[in-house]
Amino acid sequence: MQDIKVLGSGCAKCEKTASLIEKLAQEQGASVTVEKETRPEALITYGVMRTPAVVIDGQLVHSGGIPATTDIVSWFKQN
C-alpha cells in the first residue's frame, strides 16, 4: 500500500491532480491511499514551492502543475 499525499491549498489543479491519481490507480490496480494535504506547514516539511506537489511514502516526487499521466503510472509499485 502506497501512501500518496497531494500538497496544495485546495486550488483547482490540486483537486484535479488528486482525482487523476485516484483514477489511474484504479485502472492500474495499484493499491494506494490518496489524501489531500492542505496545511501550509506541510509545504515547509517537504520544501515545496510550487503546488500541486505529490509526496509518496514521505518522498517528494513532483512539484508544480498537474503531473503527466505517464509519470503518475510510473510512480505506482507493480503488484
Partner 1 sequence: MLSIFTVFADWFAFQLLSLTPDTKLGDSVHFFVEDVTKIYALLVIMIYTIALFRATLNVERVRNFLVGKHRVYGYVFGSAFGAITPFCSCSSIPVFLGFTSAGIPIGITLSFLLTSPLINEVALILLLSLLGWKFTVIYVAVGMLVGILGGAFLDAIRAERWLQSFAAKALQQGQQAPQANTTESGAGSTRLTLRARHQFAQSEALDIFGRVWKWVLLGVGLGALLHGYVPDGWIEQHLGDGQWWSVPSAVLLAIPLYSNVTGIIPVMESLLIHGLPIGTTLAFCMSTVAASFPEFILLKQVMQWRLLATVFAMLLVSFTLVGWLFNLIAVYL
Residue 8 in the binding site for partner 1 (CB under 8 A): yes
Site string for partner 1, 29-58 (x = CB under 8 A): -----------xx-xx--xxxxx-------
**How many helices (H) and strands (E) in the chain?**
3, 4
Cβ proximity to partner 1: between 15 and 22 the closer is 15
Using CA atoms, how far apart are residues 48 and 23, in angstroms rounded to an integer?
Answer: 24
Extract the runs of DSSP E, i.e. beta strands, from 1-79. 2-7, 32-37, 53-56, 59-63
Q: Name the site residues for partner 1 (rule: CB under 8 A).
A: 8-9, 11, 13, 40-41, 43-44, 47-51, 60, 64-65
